């Protein structure tokens, strides 16, 4: 075990940038783009742009604090220090819940993607293999995790770039077809915003959810070399990359194809590659979404295990979860998350055979991760307001200030509140939102029932 159970700084700036990209650009973009576009038409481009700009402000608010206090699980620490210890507790558990559920869904997806090549292979077998592989990668060292995630993310990024290049060639030069599609699909099928502002507003929550994971930089802060330099580089660099990849890919899709026909062509990525003559497009994209699913699970194991580690340090989880190997990895925390994801994935296979309709439970549970996934953003923003109020001297000469200061933070909080209100009025999302509320209420009640609020103030701090 490592001396004094300390994590090690083994992540480079290169790996941090890709970790944030890998956690954000997931299966949802490759497989779920059609659904999002159908809800709001070509104007979904602006939905991604608006959400991306507000996420940039969240990242800068976090960056302003992390720059001065680079610790593992940083936003849970900030919630505890600047709001209340129960806020840090809820933030940590929201992150654990979110990533276990995401990891579970990604493992299930791996089995489905493998059926493309091996249709008779039981879906649980690839899932078990992937869990063992990723758990091993996380246990080897934080550097090994970072390298795995770097290459997983690189595959996704290269695919999106190639799709954007191929799409632009098709739009403006008729690449592969001899006929340039032009830009008319942006307005020729019911207009740029065919479902009006209501459809646009409802789509925002789906778009916002697709950005979840970008805050991973705040969890890696305690395990990166030269944290001030790397955090500044990662925060500034990752957001415009995300905007280019998301907005660039969505722009190509809604320009090449009429938005109201996307539901009939399968994956728009496959269709775009196939249209320019890449005949093996389906196999290529299946491989990419397979790595995207593994990337999401990999990020989940890392992120949730670090939150368990911080809870255990405070005495709010068994002390065994603070055990760290010589390579700086919290071994029992990593193993617990991997087992949790594996059990969830296996239950998804077993329960539907025992209880009719049980598969719907997992759909709701996955959707319920949207609200817990947003909790770190709210905590970052509220903590940032308190941080600025309590440390005016540090803010004054800060080399990495939040654009707009406290005003920018307030506006961002209001935006996310409006997104949640939109979910309340959307019958497709209200149940998921309520499940998320119940989870948060339960964890808050558990905090007080267990008497954690009676601990010394110093021990409660993350």
Average pLDDT over residues 288-301: 83
Structural domain includes residue 461: no
Average pLDDT over residues 150-161: 84
- pLDDT (0 to 100) of residue 1: 43
- pLDDT (0 to 100) of residue 2: 46
Closest to 374 measured CA to CA, from 55, 41, 36 = 55
Give every CB contact of residue 363 below 8 A, 6+ residues apart in sequence. none
- pLDDT (0 to 100) of residue 93: 93
**Residue 287 banded pLDDT, cuts 50, 70, 90:** confident
- Would you say residue 381 has pLDDT above 80? yes
Residue-averaged pLDDT of the chain: 81
- The encoded tokens of residue 6 equal 């300390």
Structural domain includes residue 147: yes
Structural domain includes residue 212: yes
Burial string for 108-141 (b: 16+ CB within 10 Å, else e) reads bbbbebbeeeeeeeebbebbbebbeebbebbbeb
Name the most confidently modeled range: 233-242, 252-261, 273-282, 392-401: 252-261
Cα–Cα distance, 135 to 130 (Å, whole number)? 8
- pLDDT (0 to 100) of residue 71: 66
Is residue 452 within 8 Å of 312, Cβ to Cβ? Answer: no
CATH code at 86? 1.20.1740.10
- pLDDT (0 to 100) of residue 24: 63
402 secondary structure, DSSP code: P
Is residue 111 within 8 Å of 127, Cβ to Cβ? Answer: yes
- pLDDT (0 to 100) of residue 138: 85
Q: Which has more confidence, 343 or 413?
A: 413
- pLDDT (0 to 100) of residue 459: 54
Structural domain includes residue 107: yes
The string of pLDDT tens digits covering residues 267-283 is 677 777 777 777 777 78
Between the two ends of the chain, the Cα-to-Cα distance in Å is: 22
Average pLDDT over residues 446-457: 78
- pLDDT (0 to 100) of residue 108: 81
Closest to 322 measured CA to CA, from 76, 97, 314 = 314
pTM of the model: 0.83
Number of structural domains in the chain: 1
- Would you say residue 145 has pLDDT above 90? no
Domain that holds residue 118: 3-452
Structural domain includes residue 432: yes
Closest to 76 measured CA to CA, from 219, 228, 230 = 219
Is residue 342 within 8 Å of 127, Cβ to Cβ? Answer: yes
The string of pLDDT tens digits covering residues 431-447 is 888 888 999 999 999 99
- pLDDT (0 to 100) of residue 3: 47
- pLDDT (0 to 100) of residue 9: 56
- pLDDT (0 to 100) of residue 452: 80
Q: Which has more confidence, 68 or 3?
A: 68
Structural domain includes residue 459: no
């Amino acid at each position: 075990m490592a001396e004094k159970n300390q994590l090690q700084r083994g992540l480079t700036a290169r790996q941090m940038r890709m970790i944030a990209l890998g956690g954000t650009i997931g299966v949802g973009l490759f497989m779920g783009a059609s659904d999002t576009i159908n809800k709001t038409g070509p104007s979904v481009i602006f939905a991604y742009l608006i959400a991306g700009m507000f996420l940039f402000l969240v990242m800068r608010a976090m960056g302003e604090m992390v720059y001065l206090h680079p610790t593992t699980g940083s936003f849970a620490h900030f919630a505890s220090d600047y709001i209340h210890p129960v806020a840090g507790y809820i933030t940590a558990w929201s992150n654990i819940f979110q990533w276990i559920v995401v990891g579970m869904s990604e493992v299930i997806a791996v089995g489905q993607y493998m059926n493309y090549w091996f249709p008779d292979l039981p879906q649980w077998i690839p899932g078990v293999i992937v869990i063992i592989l990723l758990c091993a990668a996380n246990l080897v060292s934080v550097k090994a995790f970072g390298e795995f995630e770097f290459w997983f993310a690189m595959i996704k990024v290269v695919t999106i770039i190639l799709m954007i290049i191929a799409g632009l060639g098709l739009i403006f030069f008729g690449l592969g077809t001899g006929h340039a599609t032009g830009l008319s699909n942006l307005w020729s099928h019911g207009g740029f915003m065919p479902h009006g502002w209501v459809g646009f507003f409802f789509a925002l929550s789906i778009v916002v959810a697709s950005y979840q994971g970008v805050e991973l930089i705040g969890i890696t802060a305690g395990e990166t070399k030269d944290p001030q330099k790397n955090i500044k580089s990662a925060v500034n660099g990752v957001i415009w990359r995300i905007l280019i990849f998301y907005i660039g890919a969505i722009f190509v899709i809604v320009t090449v194809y009429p938005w109201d026909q996307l539901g009939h062509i399968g994956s728009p990525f496959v269709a775009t590659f196939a249209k320019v003559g890449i005949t093996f497009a389906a196999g290529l994209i299946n491989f990419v979404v397979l790595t995207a699913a593994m990337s999401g699970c990999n990020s989940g194991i890392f992120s949730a295990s670090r939150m368990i580690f911080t809870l255990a340090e405070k005495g709010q989880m068994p002390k065994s979860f603070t055990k760290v190997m010589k390579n700086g990895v919290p071994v029992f925390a990593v193993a617990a998350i991997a087992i949790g994801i594996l059990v969830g994935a296996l239950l998804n296979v077993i329960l539907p055979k025992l209880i009719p309709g049980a598969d719907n439970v997992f759909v709701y549970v996955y959707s319920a991760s949207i609200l817990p996934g947003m909790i770190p953003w709210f905590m970052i923003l509220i903590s940032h307001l308190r941080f600025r109020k309590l440390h005016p001297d540090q803010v004054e000469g800060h080399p990495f200030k939040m654009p707009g200061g406290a005003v920018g933070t307030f506006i961002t909080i209001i935006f996310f509140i409006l997104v949640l209100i939109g979910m309340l009025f959307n019958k497709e999302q209200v149940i998921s939102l309520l499940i998320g509320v119940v989870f948060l209420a339960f964890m808050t009640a558990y905090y007080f029932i267990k008497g954690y609020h009676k601990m010394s103030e110093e021990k409660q701090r993350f």
